Amino acid sequence: MRRTLVLVSVVAVGLGLLLARPDAARQASPDRTGWLWYKGNTHAHTTESDGDSSPEVVTRWYRDRGYQFLVLSDHNVLTNIETLSRTFAVPEQFLLVPGEEVTDAFEKAPLHINGLNVSRLVEPRHGTSVPDILQRNVDAIREARGVPHVNHPNFVWAIAPEHLQQLERYRLLEIYNGHPQVNNEGGGGRPGLEDVWDRLLRAGRRVYGIAVDDAHHFTRPWDPTASQPGRGWVVVRAPRLEASALMASLEAGDFYASTGVELESVESTREAITIRVRPKGETRYRLTLVDANGAHPPVEGLTARFPLEARMRYARVVVRDSNGHQAWIQPVFLD
Ligand SMILES: [Zn+2]
Ligand SMILES: [Zn+2]
């Protein structure tokens, strides 16, 4: 299977209004299959649950900063996007995808799973243990024809790697969540989320890593305890800006996750992963191949071609920049 991923310059990362309408760039440089790349955030809250701003304000924030799609994921509320879409949605420029954060708990452990593109409200199913509750809610989201993503496993240290090992019918796992209290990096004997992801991949689970904002606060940008927007997102390759197409690409791993690193191109085949980073000023980049046996010595620079071998079992690439931002390229499975 050959997956050739060439990014066009529609991916505007934090560059504001100038790139919010990148039609010329889109038409000038589609990749060879005609698919395009769309930047989106799949996790944001509004006043429909515990966010501090209305759905209109939140949607405008993302639309004006060059995102092409957004999922409003309020807690156990399917925020109505019909009216919003009449105001904000523009074909091939900006799309609202229905969504919800199915919010459950086991004792004091918060168990949250986003349902993307659900066809109706999904009520939390509850259950008798962490794995039981997770599975019941994943199944409920699937029954509503939605795509589940498992949220912030280390929030209140609720979801351990062994819980995720048991979970079925999910493809997407938050490996970065922009909320300031979700313990992305692990500690105190608990692994960070990138390590959790590799444990799952080594165990043969086909799981893709996503980065999200989990934005709650749009009115206090000075506050380090606030959950600000603009911290984590995905860039999805799809044939068109349409919810079912985006969902299919997410579940196929046709995307990368980012906290600030932009890519110009990615080519993933069973033979090699080839990456070109889009440079930004004097920022420098380190590209690292990770396989089932661990991390390889990094390549310093803007481009790299990593040859793959079957004994790697899976291979993925992470790009880290000199200012602490990342891009995670999704794994290629070799067995
Ligand atoms: Zn949550
Ligand atoms: Zn949330």
Render pLDDT for 75-128 as a digit per residue (tens, 0 to 9).
Answer: 999 999 999 999 999 999 999 999 999 999 999 999 999 999 999 999 999 999
Render pLDDT for 223-261 as a digit per residue (tens, 0 to 9).
Answer: 999 999 999 999 999 999 999 999 999 999 999 999 999
Main-chain phi, psi angles of 249, to 5 degrees: -70, -40
Q: What is the mean pLDDT of residues 170-183?
A: 98
CB hemisphere CA count around 218 (13 angstroms): 21
What is the 227 CA–ligand 1 centroid distance (Å)?
11
Considering only 18-27, 157-166, 194-203, 265-274, which range has the smallest mean pLDDT? 18-27
What is the 77 CA–ligand 2 centroid distance (Å)?
12
What is the predicted pLDDT for the residue at 33? 66
Query: 274, 257, 261: which is closest to 321 by C-alpha?
Result: 261
What is the 105 CA–ligand 2 centroid distance (Å)?
14
- The rounded distance, in Å, linking the Cα atoms of 89 and 83 is 10
Contact by Cβ (8 Å): 159, 182? no
What is the 100 CA–ligand 2 centroid distance (Å)?
9
What is the 307 CA–ligand 1 centroid distance (Å)?
38
Q: Who's near 285: CB < 8 A, 6+ residues apart?
A: 261, 277, 279, 300, 301, 302, 319, 320, 321, 322
DSSP string over 8-68: -TT--SS-GGGGSS-HHHHHH---TTS-EEEEEE--B--TTTT-SS-HHHHHHHHHTTT-S
Query: Is 12's pLDDT higher than 80?
Result: no
What is the predicted pLDDT for the residue at 330? 98
What is the 8 CA–ligand 1 centroid distance (Å)?
32
Collapsing DSSP to helix, strand or coil, 102 comes out as strand
- ∠ Cα 155 159 164 (to 5°): 140
What is the 15 CA–ligand 1 centroid distance (Å)?
27
Query: Is 22's pLDDT higher than 50?
Result: no
Q: Which residues surround ligand 1, an ion (CB under 5 A)?
A: 112, 151
What is the value of pTM for the model shown? 0.91
**Confidence band, pLDDT 50/70/90 cuts, at residue 74:** very high
What is the predicted pLDDT for the residue at 21? 33
What is the 188 CA–ligand 2 centroid distance (Å)?
24
